[in-house]
A = this chain, B = another copy of it.
Amino acid sequence: MEASEGSPQPVERLLATADRLFYAEGIRAVGIDRVLAESRVAKSTLYAHFRTKEDLVAKYLHRRSDATRTRVTQAVEDRAGQSPTARILAAFEVFDELLSEPGFRGCPFANASAEYPHHAGIQAAIADDRAWLPALFSRVLAPVAGQAGSGLAAALVQLYDGAVAGAHLDRAPESAVTAARTARALLAAHQVP
Protein backbone atom coordinates (compact mmCIF):
# COMPACT_ATOMS: atom_id res chain seq x y z
CA MET A 1 0.00 0.00 0.00
CA GLU A 2 2.44 2.61 1.18
CA ALA A 3 5.78 3.43 -0.33
CA SER A 4 8.21 0.65 0.45
CA GLU A 5 10.84 3.14 1.60
CA GLY A 6 12.52 3.52 -1.75
CA SER A 7 12.20 6.90 -3.42
CA PRO A 8 9.05 8.76 -2.38
CA GLN A 9 5.84 8.67 -4.34
CA PRO A 10 5.64 10.78 -7.50
CA VAL A 11 3.45 13.52 -6.06
CA GLU A 12 5.74 13.93 -3.08
CA ARG A 13 8.82 14.12 -5.32
CA LEU A 14 7.01 16.66 -7.45
CA LEU A 15 6.13 18.89 -4.53
CA ALA A 16 9.56 18.70 -2.95
CA THR A 17 11.21 19.73 -6.22
CA ALA A 18 8.64 22.45 -6.91
CA ASP A 19 9.22 23.87 -3.45
CA ARG A 20 12.94 23.97 -3.91
CA LEU A 21 12.92 25.48 -7.40
CA PHE A 22 10.00 27.88 -7.05
CA TYR A 23 11.37 29.32 -3.85
CA ALA A 24 14.98 29.59 -4.97
CA GLU A 25 14.50 30.93 -8.49
CA GLY A 26 10.99 32.31 -8.72
CA ILE A 27 7.86 30.65 -9.99
CA ARG A 28 7.50 32.06 -13.47
CA ALA A 29 11.23 31.64 -14.01
CA VAL A 30 10.94 27.87 -13.54
CA GLY A 31 9.13 25.92 -16.23
CA ILE A 32 7.09 22.81 -15.63
CA ASP A 33 9.51 20.78 -17.72
CA ARG A 34 12.32 21.64 -15.36
CA VAL A 35 10.36 20.56 -12.29
CA LEU A 36 9.43 17.32 -14.03
CA ALA A 37 12.97 16.55 -15.12
CA GLU A 38 14.49 17.17 -11.69
CA SER A 39 11.81 15.26 -9.83
CA ARG A 40 11.79 12.47 -12.41
CA VAL A 41 8.04 12.55 -12.81
CA ALA A 42 6.13 12.22 -16.08
CA LYS A 43 4.13 15.13 -17.39
CA SER A 44 1.00 13.04 -17.51
CA THR A 45 1.40 12.27 -13.80
CA LEU A 46 1.60 15.96 -13.01
CA TYR A 47 -1.56 16.73 -14.94
CA ALA A 48 -3.33 13.74 -13.45
CA HIS A 49 -2.98 15.38 -10.01
CA PHE A 50 -3.06 19.08 -10.82
CA ARG A 51 -5.23 20.80 -13.35
CA THR A 52 -2.74 23.58 -14.12
CA LYS A 53 0.65 24.85 -13.07
CA GLU A 54 -1.08 27.41 -10.87
CA ASP A 55 -2.78 24.61 -8.95
CA LEU A 56 0.65 23.19 -8.22
CA VAL A 57 1.80 26.63 -7.09
CA ALA A 58 -1.14 26.94 -4.72
CA LYS A 59 -0.32 23.54 -3.25
CA TYR A 60 3.32 24.57 -2.83
CA LEU A 61 2.20 27.63 -0.89
CA HIS A 62 -0.15 25.70 1.35
CA ARG A 63 2.60 23.28 2.26
CA ARG A 64 5.02 26.08 3.05
CA SER A 65 2.43 27.75 5.22
CA ASP A 66 1.66 24.57 7.15
CA ALA A 67 5.30 23.84 7.83
CA THR A 68 6.06 27.28 9.20
CA ARG A 69 2.87 27.52 11.21
CA THR A 70 3.52 24.16 12.82
CA ARG A 71 7.06 25.05 13.73
CA VAL A 72 6.26 28.44 15.25
CA THR A 73 3.13 27.29 17.01
CA GLN A 74 5.01 24.38 18.53
CA ALA A 75 7.67 26.66 19.99
CA VAL A 76 5.00 28.88 21.53
CA GLU A 77 3.01 25.97 22.91
CA ASP A 78 6.15 24.48 24.42
CA ARG A 79 6.17 27.49 26.74
CA ALA A 80 2.54 27.18 27.66
CA GLY A 81 3.15 27.90 31.33
CA GLN A 82 5.42 30.88 30.88
CA SER A 83 4.67 34.60 30.55
CA PRO A 84 3.13 36.01 27.39
CA THR A 85 6.32 37.97 26.72
CA ALA A 86 8.44 34.83 26.95
CA ARG A 87 6.09 33.01 24.59
CA ILE A 88 6.13 35.84 22.05
CA LEU A 89 9.90 35.98 22.19
CA ALA A 90 10.02 32.23 21.63
CA ALA A 91 8.29 32.85 18.32
CA PHE A 92 10.92 35.44 17.43
CA GLU A 93 13.62 32.91 18.21
CA VAL A 94 12.13 30.63 15.58
CA PHE A 95 12.00 33.57 13.17
CA ASP A 96 15.70 34.01 13.78
CA GLU A 97 16.30 30.40 12.78
CA LEU A 98 14.13 30.70 9.68
CA LEU A 99 15.77 33.90 8.48
CA SER A 100 19.25 32.50 9.07
CA GLU A 101 18.78 29.42 6.95
CA PRO A 102 21.19 29.37 4.01
CA GLY A 103 18.68 29.42 1.19
CA PHE A 104 16.45 32.07 2.72
CA ARG A 105 15.06 34.27 0.00
CA GLY A 106 12.21 36.18 1.60
CA CYS A 107 8.57 35.44 2.23
CA PRO A 108 7.30 32.86 -0.27
CA PHE A 109 3.84 34.41 -0.09
CA ALA A 110 4.98 37.94 -0.80
CA ASN A 111 7.09 36.53 -3.63
CA ALA A 112 4.17 34.61 -5.08
CA SER A 113 1.92 37.63 -4.78
CA ALA A 114 4.42 39.64 -6.81
CA GLU A 115 4.27 37.06 -9.57
CA TYR A 116 0.54 36.28 -9.59
CA PRO A 117 -1.22 39.40 -8.29
CA HIS A 118 -4.53 38.51 -9.91
CA HIS A 119 -4.77 34.73 -9.67
CA ALA A 120 -7.63 33.70 -7.38
CA GLY A 121 -6.30 30.34 -6.15
CA ILE A 122 -2.85 31.68 -5.39
CA GLN A 123 -4.17 34.80 -3.69
CA ALA A 124 -6.43 32.59 -1.60
CA ALA A 125 -3.44 30.54 -0.45
CA ILE A 126 -1.68 33.75 0.53
CA ALA A 127 -4.67 35.14 2.40
CA ASP A 128 -4.96 31.81 4.17
CA ASP A 129 -1.37 32.02 5.39
CA ARG A 130 -1.69 35.60 6.55
CA ALA A 131 -4.26 34.67 9.19
CA TRP A 132 -2.41 32.31 11.50
CA LEU A 133 0.31 34.53 12.95
CA PRO A 134 -1.92 37.37 14.17
CA ALA A 135 -4.27 34.71 15.55
CA LEU A 136 -1.43 33.06 17.43
CA PHE A 137 -0.20 36.34 18.90
CA SER A 138 -3.72 37.37 19.84
CA ARG A 139 -4.27 34.06 21.59
CA VAL A 140 -1.09 34.47 23.61
CA LEU A 141 -1.92 38.04 24.54
CA ALA A 142 -5.60 37.49 25.26
CA PRO A 143 -5.15 36.75 29.00
CA VAL A 144 -3.28 39.98 29.69
CA ALA A 145 -4.16 42.51 27.01
CA GLY A 146 -7.86 43.05 26.66
CA GLN A 147 -9.03 45.51 24.04
CA ALA A 148 -5.55 46.47 22.91
CA GLY A 149 -4.58 42.85 22.30
CA SER A 150 -5.35 42.65 18.61
CA GLY A 151 -3.65 45.97 17.90
CA LEU A 152 -0.58 44.76 19.72
CA ALA A 153 -0.69 41.50 17.82
CA ALA A 154 -0.81 43.42 14.55
CA ALA A 155 2.21 45.46 15.60
CA LEU A 156 4.13 42.26 16.38
CA VAL A 157 3.21 40.77 13.01
CA GLN A 158 4.62 43.92 11.43
CA LEU A 159 7.88 43.32 13.22
CA TYR A 160 7.99 39.83 11.75
CA ASP A 161 7.22 41.13 8.26
CA GLY A 162 9.85 43.81 8.57
CA ALA A 163 12.46 41.34 9.71
CA VAL A 164 11.67 39.05 6.79
CA ALA A 165 11.92 41.86 4.26
CA GLY A 166 15.19 43.13 5.69
CA ALA A 167 16.76 39.69 5.95
CA HIS A 168 15.93 39.16 2.31
CA LEU A 169 16.61 42.48 0.59
CA ASP A 170 19.55 43.51 2.76
CA ARG A 171 20.87 39.97 3.22
CA ALA A 172 20.83 40.76 6.94
CA PRO A 173 19.70 37.73 8.96
CA GLU A 174 20.44 39.61 12.16
CA SER A 175 17.31 41.63 11.47
CA ALA A 176 15.43 38.96 13.44
CA VAL A 177 17.35 40.03 16.53
CA THR A 178 16.51 43.67 15.88
CA ALA A 179 12.85 42.76 15.56
CA ALA A 180 12.95 40.76 18.79
CA ARG A 181 14.42 43.77 20.61
CA THR A 182 11.67 46.02 19.31
CA ALA A 183 9.09 43.43 20.30
CA ARG A 184 10.44 43.34 23.82
CA ALA A 185 10.33 47.15 24.05
CA LEU A 186 6.80 47.20 22.68
CA LEU A 187 5.54 44.58 25.11
CA ALA A 188 7.21 46.40 28.00
CA ALA A 189 5.64 49.68 26.94
CA HIS A 190 2.25 47.98 27.09
CA GLN A 191 3.08 46.45 30.47
CA VAL A 192 2.69 42.91 29.23
CA PRO A 193 4.27 40.57 31.78
How many copies of this chain does one complex carry?
Answer: 2
Q: Can you list, as one digit per residue, whether each of A107-142 has a CB less than 8 Å from chain B (1) or not (0)?
A: 101111111111000000010001000000000000
B169 touches A109 (CB 8 A): yes
Q: Which chain B residue has the least Cβ–Cβ distance from A134? A: B170
Identify whether the interface residues of A are mostly helix, strand, loop, or mixed: helix
A-side interface residues toward B, CB under 8 Å? 24-26, 28-29, 105-107, 109-118, 126, 130, 151, 154-155, 157-166, 168-170, 175, 178-179, 181-182, 185-186, 188-189
Chain B nearest CB from A64 CB (Å) reads: 14
CB-defined A-B contacts under 8 Å, sample of 13:
A25-B117, A25-B118, A26-B114, A106-B114, A110-B165, A110-B168, A111-B114, A126-B169, A155-B179, A158-B162, A159-B182, A160-B162, A185-B189
